[in-house]
Homo-oligomer: A and B are copies of this chain.
Amino acid sequence: MIRFHEKDPYAPIQYSYEVSRILYRGRSKFQDIVVFENPFFGRMMILDGVVQITEKDEFFYHEMLAHVVLKAHPAPKTVVVIGGGDGGTVREVLRHKTVERVYFIEIDEEVINVSRKFFPRVASGIGDRRVEIKCMDGAEFVKSRKHDIDLVIVDSTDIVGFAKSLFTKKFFSSISDCLTPDGMFVSLSESLHFHQEIVVSVQKTLQAVFPVVDLYTAPLATYAGNWWTFSVGSMGLNPREIRGKGRLKTKYYSPDIHKSCFLPGEMYTRLLNGKLGW
């Protein structure tokens, strides 16, 4: 059997997958890109040796990254998606009828091209007339805007490689400067099983910038550690409340999940104080 062994030096468990067929191998200006087929997960996209999406389970991540802040906002119109070149997050954002404009900022154009070719259902929203694609550094883009963005969603690779610059106080300050008073920011922030210290560091950096900071989780089978966190920075609104109207036909996200996905207060306090005990 041919297997792909994930190359994540920061994960204490290495994941490996059967490879039925290799569909694409290439190197962009920024990273190695591989697409292969697995009997259980379908097509999978690998960036620099780490699984980014699979056909079978990408919706867990994309639904949970997009819908929590989109539903916590009363009527989001202008959304920035930084990274997420596969298009899955943009697809979910577009399902909200109030959304008029999505700035889709992906530094690596090649990821968009590969996704359009091999993951057409994931990339399905990229050509929507509301989407403006900009192949540039997300940090540069947010610096160019002032108080006219409702939501900033960062859909980056792990907080270890070149994506590190997306988790600094400087970057978070630029984001808060571009947000409206009801604005919110969200990003994946690693696993509560494996990378507590990164989770806490992202939360504390956000607290230095945003009036409201919170943390929710989702079970992501193909990201090592699986119990992953999403960090929210808000200019004022409590992200635990649902304000958006209308019902989404989703597979995992739901109003019930919205209410139960945030870390319970007592556990959240222990996490920030370094007292989770694991």
Say yes or no: is A167 at the interface (Cβ < 8 Å to chain B): no
Which A residues from 1 to 46 make CB contacts under 8 A with B? 3, 5, 12-18, 38-41
Of the residues B217, B226, B257, contact of A264 by C-beta under 8 Å: B257
| Interface CB pairs A-B, < 8 A, 15 | A3-B14, A5-B16, A12-B17, A14-B15, A14-B16, A40-B194, A60-B278, A194-B221, A221-B226, A227-B227, A251-B276, A251-B277, A251-B278, A254-B264, A257-B264
Shortest Cβ distance from A219 into B: residue = B227
- Determine the chain B residues whose CB is within 8 A of the CB of A38 once the complex forms: 12
- How many residues of chain A are within 8 Å of chain B by beta carbon? 42
- Determine the chain B residues whose CB is within 8 A of the CB of A15 once the complex forms: 13-15
Say yes or no: is A59 at the interface (Cβ < 8 Å to chain B): yes
- Determine the chain B residues whose CB is within 8 A of the CB of A57 once the complex forms: 193, 278
CB distance from A222 to the nearest CB of B (A): 7
B-contacting residues of A (Cβ < 8 Å)? Answer: 3, 5, 12-18, 38-41, 56-57, 59-60, 191-194, 217, 219, 221-222, 225-227, 251-252, 254, 256-257, 259-260, 264-267, 276-278
B14 in contact with A278 (CB, 8 Å): no
- Determine the chain B residues whose CB is within 8 A of the CB of A217 once the complex forms: 219
